[in-house]
Amino acid sequence: MAYGAHHSPTPPPHPDLGLARDCEHCLGWGTVITRDGVHELCDTCQSTTDGDEFPPSPPPHRRFPG
């Protein structure tokens, strides 16, 4: 019999996949599961800055007519 996922009082973390792309620790997912079963951002690739929850994302690419 299959069981569904356990309900968590906190939402899962949202990693920056651009930073996670080449990370060998989390294999590009940007998150890891601890030994306690907690879903956390990868310490290796998802570094935070002072006061920010996530690093700033790069500006979007713009197309120029031509």
pLDDT digits (tens, 9 = 90+) for 3-53: 656 666 777 788 999 999 999 999 999 999 989 888 899 999 998 544 455
Q: What is this structure's pTM?
A: 0.55
What type of residue is 53?
Answer: E
Which position has the token pair 């620790």?
25
pLDDT score at 10: 73
pLDDT score at 44: 93
Q: Which helix (H) or strand (E) holds 31?
A: strand 31-33
Residue-averaged pLDDT of the chain: 77
pLDDT score at 47: 80
Q: How far is CA 1 from CA 5, 7, 8, 14, 15, in A?
A: 13, 18, 22, 30, 32
pLDDT score at 50: 45
